[in-house]
Structure 1
Amino acid sequence: MTVINALANQYYLYISKDQKPFFWDIYDTKPPIEFSLTTYFGKVFQAIEKSSVISGLVFYVTWNEIDELPSYGQNVVVFILGDEWYRIPKYAHKVRAVFKCVGTSSILGCNPLLQPSLLNLLTLIQFLRILVVGVPGWINYHWHKFKNLVLGKGQITPVYDIPLGYHNSKDLPIKNIESRLYDTYFSGSVIHRQYSVWSVKSWLGTPKALSRKLMIAILNQFQKKHPEFKVELSITGGYHDRTSDDERSYCEIMMDTKICLVPRGTSFETTRLFEGMKYGCVLVTEALPSRWYLDGAPVIQIQNWQELPWILKNLLENKQLMAEMHHKSLNWWQDKCSENVVGEYIIAKLKREFSRNSEINLDPP
């Protein structure tokens, strides 16, 4: 017999205006359409439902649709999971709240003037493109903010940052850091899409591709120089090319890894960061943006992958430091990024927004 869970709120997966929204039973492990990050956010929304604090809301979960929604109003809450252009959605002033992964403010993450390189030049160009693309949304948002202020209508909702979480992370018993098989591990793509021969990207590359190529080259050199350390390296076709067997292998190897390498993707913030954190890995990353769930995180940030051999050797030869960072990583996940904590954060922000509107039921019977 199929048990249908009663939901206090309605959840929809929304791709674009060309497709109708798909009702999503957040307790269903297989949503009606393929949609990344539903494993993590399904549990976040389950935490919201379990709290029984809010009800009567419509949650639209979209990947990167920032122009239109199926409906608007004070009962509409939007989650934008995959917009790597850091844009403010055009409808922000028409809904009760907007929560967005990777946020609305980008970072340069390097110094092209003091450290000139092709990678840093392309990073600068990408950063400037993001700023230009984001101008219309920024102007629209602040215009409505100013108009509401002049007309005495009060503030419009902020756009709240939330972590990416994980794509498909198995719940595995946490393994002691000293007993893990792999000293360091990276599995991922270098080039996740093929560009036209006429595209500049096919000739010069992208910040993601150049950064990862450099990291892999340095890692291979480290492996040859230090055969006593166990290095696991797996280059895949792309994020969306993982099979269920790949996911199981990825999770199991991650749990058996001491140091997780977290190179940038299209943006600096990636799911690998949170997957490694959840499993208690020591994390070595590139630059990270300022976010409430990242500020002060127990990670090692590097400016150049050339620093990697020294960092790896010093970490692996310091068991006490490794153990400390292992526990700090686990604690940070539990205290800042876990599904229950993010659910509580969302509830707190919604209650704050709803305090101005008595039409929404905050404490259902």
Structure 2
Amino acid sequence: MVKSNSGNELFQLPNVHYENNSDYKFDDLNEGLFIIRIFAELQSLMHDEFFNYEFFIFSNHQIDSLPESIHFKSNKKKVLFYFSDEFGKDPSPYSNHYFAIFKAYIGDSFDVKNVFPIQIGYVKDVPSFLPVKPISKRKYNIFFRGNLNKNRIDLYRNLSPLKFLIPSKNILHAELYRKILLRLKDDFSKYYVNSIIIFNSSFKSGFSTEKYGKILSESKIVLCPKGYDMTECFRHFEAMRAGCVIISEKLPNTEFYKGSPIIEVDNWKEGLSISKKLLNDPAQLQEIQDKMLVWWENKCSEKATALYVKEKIESILS
């Protein structure tokens, strides 16, 4: 069945449950704090109406795994929040078991009226620093530190002076290839002045989360290459919250990205070129930062996400 009490305050609410067959304990979820804050805002927005719903939280990476709440019987309207699945599975085949489903990493590749994308949040231990520093006061020009996964070889190649000798990911992208590249060079911080650009061998194997958050708060531009399977990654929202200018590969056409100030590029040759031009235009950088902070507050913050959930639920009722 479904856990209704995991020791976390969120699950002291009688109508909020964490699925037994999730891949992680809730307290170990990277996005756990984000989820807790969404529900706090959602309860505040919905008032007593909040308790007319049965909410289920599911965190799972497995291809064939389904939420156990499919079989949960309730007189209340069931709502599923599905996180962590970077394969981007479409939950539409079992959407008839729920009043609504909110799914992270789903992009825009579905066509069911009660299934909605939800933003993926941020790593719980990455701090945010307030007040947000204006661009002109920031120490670092360009920042990226992250895993050299198979999808980030294009970024690596374009940073490397040996790029014409490095095969593309389509020719060679085995684990051995990644290890060779990391041994060859992992630090490209000198590509731009006053910058930090370093590739790691795995997720969260670089700076501590405290230091990572601090550097974000001191960075003008953050590079956001594609994650292991999906373009979306925690870095997008951590950088947005920190007031950084974000350069990213193409993102899904969802409400969290469509019309946003995130600069989307087709490849990293273009991305690095745009970065150089922006560094020579402080006024434009500041303008983008201002828009980024407004976008975070109005579209992607915990309160904005809770309001989005409330409005989607109401759209089904109307």
Structure 2 length-normalised TM: 0.76
Give unmatched runs, 5+ long, in structure 1: 23-30, 107-137, 143-155, 192-205, 356-365
Aligned-partner SS, 2:160: helix
Partner of 2:291: 328
Equivalent of 1:100 in 103, 107, 119: 103
Cα deviation for residue 165 of structure 1 reads 1.7
Cα deviation for residue 211 of structure 1 reads 3.2
Aligned-partner SS, 1:239: coil
Partner of 2:87: 85
Cα deviation for residue 349 of structure 1 reads 1.9
**Within 2, Cα distance between the matches of 1:188 and 1:15?**
31
Cα deviation for residue 15 of structure 1 reads 5.4
Equivalent of 2:30 in 36, 43, 49: 36
Aligned-partner SS, 1:253: helix
Equivalent residue runs for 1:2-81 within 5 Å: 10-14=15-19, 16=21, 31=26, 33-51=27-45, 52=47, 53-64=49-60, 67-70=66-69, 71-73=72-74, 74-81=76-83
* Shift in alpha-carbon separation, 1:11–1:234, aligned structure 2, 3 A: farther
Structure 1 residue 180 and structure 2 residue 138: aligned? yes
Cα deviation for residue 215 of structure 1 reads 5.1
Query: How many residue pairs end up in the alignment?
Result: 277
**Within 2, Cα distance between the matches of 1:222 and 1:309?**
12
* Shift in alpha-carbon separation, 1:13–1:241, aligned structure 2, 3 A: farther
One-letter code aligned to 2:115: V
* Shift in alpha-carbon separation, 1:99–1:9, aligned structure 2, 3 A: farther
After superposition, the C-alpha distances for 1:70-124 in whole angstroms (9 at most, x for unaligned) are: 3155522111112233322242111111001122545xxxxxxxxxxxxxxxxxx
Equivalent of 2:119 in 140, 163, 168: 163
Give unmatched runs, 5+ long, in structure 2: 1-6, 164-185
Cα deviation for residue 6 of structure 1 reads 9.4
**Within 2, Cα distance between the matches of 1:87 and 1:3?**
28
* Shift in alpha-carbon separation, 1:162–1:9, aligned structure 2, 3 A: farther
* Shift in alpha-carbon separation, 1:230–1:69, aligned structure 2, 3 A: same
| Sequence identity percentage | 23
Cα contact 1:185–1:231 (8 A) shared by 2: yes
Q: What is the CA RMSD across the aligned residues, in angstroms?
A: 3.1
**Within 2, Cα distance between the matches of 1:6 and 1:270?**
26
The ranges of structure 1 where at least 4 consecutive aligned residues each deviate by more than 4 angstroms after the TM superposition are 2-9, 218-226
Cα deviation for residue 233 of structure 1 reads 2.2
Partner of 2:200: 236
Cα contact 1:72–1:95 (8 A) shared by 2: no
Structure 1 length-normalised TM: 0.67
One-letter code aligned to 1:57: Y
Partner of 2:314: 351
